[in-house]
């Protein structure tokens, strides 16, 4: 956690690469950090202009993220849906995927490689395995992703081959193991409503 906070304050708040947590006060640093809030805080739940412009949004968040709780993404998605008339009004342009075992932007004990800017590359650059390909297909062909197949590699090394794959399901659906076959195979999971 110290790396996240130190990097944020040093580079974004104070623009001073050698800043350290002991250089200021909690009250002073918090006050100074407010200048970045307008640019970085994702608090506006009215995405109607984005929707009207034909925008498509795929958001994913790891359940094992130590920097930002995954529930904050769930809360935001729910707030957008509430503001815009319900999940059925949001699904045509906004999908949230929650990643069991993924840490901040990738890695962790769960399959997390889906391409994109952060983390490990996807094994196949198709819309089922690669988040950018899924977004392109949604924008260009109108085919929204219901699942993304995340991959983990042996020793986190793509050159060593696939260790496991697991579907990430469009929220609020979750992946359920069929009880048959290998737990490491995505084909043995289905997306469905969470079990109560």
The candidate with the shortest Cα–Cα distance to 41, out of 14, 23, 68, is: 68
Tens of pLDDT, residue by residue over 14-30, are 778 887 777 767 666 66
* Element holding 163 (H helix, E strand): strand 162-169
User: What are the two backbone dihedrals, phi and then psi, of residue 113, each rounded to the nearest 5 degrees?
Assistant: -80, 110
The rounded percent of the chain whose pLDDT value lies above 90 is 70
Alpha carbon of 180 to those of 95, 133, 173, 189, 194: distances in Å? 29, 30, 20, 9, 19
User: What are the two backbone dihedrals, phi and then psi, of residue 93, each rounded to the nearest 5 degrees?
Assistant: -140, -5
Alpha carbon of 24 to those of 1, 6, 31, 64: distances in Å? 18, 12, 11, 30
Residue 100 to residue 94: CA distance in whole angstroms: 20
Predicted TM-score (pTM) of this structure: 0.85
* Token pair 């690469």: residue: 17
**Which residues are CB-contacts of 79 (< 8 A; sequence separation ≥ 6)?**
45
Helix residue ranges per DSSP H, the chain: 2-7, 26-40, 48-52, 70-83, 87-90, 131-141
Return the number of other C-beta atoms located less than 10 Å from residue 55's C-beta.
12
Mean pLDDT of the chain: 90
- Chain-centroid distance of CA 172 in Å reads 14
Instruction: Look up residue 176 and give its two tokens.
Output: 């359920």
Specify the pLDDT at position 1.
46
Question: Averaged over 161-182, what is the pLDDT?
Answer: 96
């Amino acid at each position: 956690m110290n790396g996240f906070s130190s990097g944020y304050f040093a580079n974004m708040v104070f623009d001073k690469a050698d800043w350290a947590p002991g250089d200021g006060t909690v009250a002073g640093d918090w006050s100074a950090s407010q200048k970045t809030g307008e640019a970085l805080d994702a608090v506006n739940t009215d995405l109607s202009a984005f929707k009207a412009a034909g925008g498509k949004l795929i958001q994913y968040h790891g359940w094992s993220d130590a920097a930002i709780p995954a529930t904050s993404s769930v809360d935001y998605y729910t707030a957008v849906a509430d503001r815009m008339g319900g999940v059925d009004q949001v699904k045509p342009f906004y999908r949230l995927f929650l990643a069991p075992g993924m840490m901040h932007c990738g890695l962790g004990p769960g399959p997390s490689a889906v391409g994109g800017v952060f983390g490990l590359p996807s094994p196949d650059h198709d819309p089922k395995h690669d988040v950018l390909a899924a977004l392109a297909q949604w924008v260009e062909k109108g085919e929204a992703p219901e699942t993304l197949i995340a991959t983990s590699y042996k020793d986190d090394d793509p050159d060593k081959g696939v260790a496991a794959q697991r579907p990430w399901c469009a929220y609020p659906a979750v992946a359920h193991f069929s009880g048959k076959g290998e737990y490491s195979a995505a084909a043995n999971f289905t997306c469905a409503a969470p079990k109560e």
